[in-house]
Structure 1
Amino acid sequence: MTPTSIAVLSLSMSADAFAAAVGRGAAHRPSLFGAMRTGLVFGAIEAVTPLLGWSLGLAASGFVAAVDHWIAFGLLGLVGLRMAFDGSRRLSAAPSDRQPAVRRGLLPLLATAVGTSIDAAAVGVSLALLQADILAIAAAIGLATFAMASLGMMVGRAVGARLGNVAEIAGGLGLVALGSAILLDHTGMLG
């Protein structure tokens, strides 16, 4: 993968964490330290889950080598469309329904971080099929998620949850675009 593709992937994967962090920030109004602590939890979990998915994908790669680009396209496309759909659904909802209730404490934070990183495991599967440098990509995803979740907490503190939904839509569309580019590149349609 090119550095540009890694950057798009990292920012796209961090969009749902950003959206969740905006909601948490709006509800909890954290200090900068609190925002960075939340960002660290989101970033660490988001960096680990593609490694888990990559391990599973690597085990299956010999069986699916002929269709790996279709699998990557399908996984990235489905994850991206789900993110865009969820963000747009909340964006068009009544103001009181735009963001789920946010609870305080470590357990709800971990549950939210794991929930927003499940899609990174699916992306990890597709990266194994593409024989990508998973350590560099996982580190980039983790760093981007740390930064975006920390920023999301502070943005949520300042402006509320609406911006998080727009970011989730943009991140989802970024994943769809990346999956499409992989498909076009591997089928020779890109050049």
Structure 2
Amino acid sequence: MNISTIVGELITLLIMALALGMDAFSVGLGMGLIRLRLRQILYIGVIIGFFHIWMPLVGMIIGKVLSDKLGTIASYAGGVLLIVLGIQMVISSLRHKEESFIKPVGFGLIIFALSVSLDSFSVGLSLGIFGARTALTIAIFGFVSMILTWLGLIMGRRVQGWLGNYSEALGGSILLAFGIKLLLPL
């Protein structure tokens, strides 16, 4: 394999990683509107990166065996999860004294990470069918999504200070809109 082929594959994987990581950025922007400490932001980014490693890896393994029919199901499941998270955040923001049911900690963080990495599973299915380099692919996907998640969470945290109590409703609206976009691709 020559250098130009390797560079071409690397550029392609970086572009794919950026595209896949943009949902983590967008959702991170929405979730960053909840009051989060920097340690939580660091942890959330690492978990999202971890899911963006494992989901495409599982997808690549299954993609070598199955067809790409599961890709559509994974996108719909991700959309539904984001809609549920978004609705919950909007409702939580309207209830001034009640605790939010789903927060980016514990089980809520797992749901959050799963919802933004399901599309990586779908892409992993396709890449598995085409025989992409597994280690390089998952390393790039994980690293890029972690960085983009951190950027989204930090930007959301800054905006949260400007919006006050309305920031969680805005964050929920962003998640809800992104979930609907996954369910109704244009």
Aligned sequence identity (%): 20
Match of 2:50 among 20, 40, 44: 44
**One-letter identity of the residue aligned with 2:30:** G
State the distance in 2 between where 1:104 and 1:18 align.
14
**One-letter identity of the residue aligned with 1:45:** F
Shift in Å, 1:17 = 1.4
TM-score (norm 1): 0.62
Shift in Å, 1:11 = 0.9
TM-score (norm 2): 0.64
Shift in Å, 1:30 = 2.5
Contact 1:36 1:146 (8 Å CA) reproduced: no
State the distance in 2 between where 1:140 and 1:8 align.
10
Q: Which residue of 2 aligns with 1:15?
A: 22
Count of residues paired in the alignment: 148
Q: 1:153 to 1:127 in 2, by over 3 A?
A: same
State the distance in 2 between where 1:54 and 1:9 align.
15
The Cα offsets for residues 41-94 of structure 1, whole Å up to 9 and x where unpaired, read as 00001110001011111123xxx7xxxxxx59xx59x95xx98xx99xx9xxxx
**Higher mean displacement: 154-163 or 137-146:** 154-163
Superposition pairs of residues 16-165 of structure 1, within 5 angstroms: 16-31=23-38, 33-60=39-66, 103-160=103-160
Q: Which residue of 2 aligns with 1:186?
A: none
In structure 2, stretches of 5+ residues that fail to align are 1-7, 94-99, 161-166
Shift in Å, 1:29 = 3.4
Shift in Å, 1:136 = 0.5
**One-letter identity of the residue aligned with 1:17:** A
**One-letter identity of the residue aligned with 1:121:** F
Q: Point out 4+ residue stretches in structure 1 off by more than 4 angstroms.
A: 160-165
> For 1:147, what is the secondary structure of its paired residue?
helix
**One-letter identity of the residue aligned with 2:115:** G
Shift in Å, 1:27 = 0.8
State the distance in 1 between where 2:130 and 2:12 align.
13
Contact 2:44 2:104 (8 Å CA) reproduced: no
In structure 1, stretches of 5+ residues that fail to align are 65-70, 91-95, 177-191
Q: 1:124 to 1:149 in 2, by over 3 A?
A: same
Contact 1:48 1:138 (8 Å CA) reproduced: yes
State the distance in 1 between where 2:115 and 2:15 align.
21
State the distance in 2 between where 1:143 and 1:16 align.
14
Q: 1:118 to 1:104 in 2, by over 3 A?
A: closer
Shift in Å, 1:128 = 1.0
Contact 1:30 1:154 (8 Å CA) reproduced: no
**One-letter identity of the residue aligned with 1:41:** I
**One-letter identity of the residue aligned with 1:158:** R
Contact 2:45 2:146 (8 Å CA) reproduced: yes
Shift in Å, 1:104 = 4.8
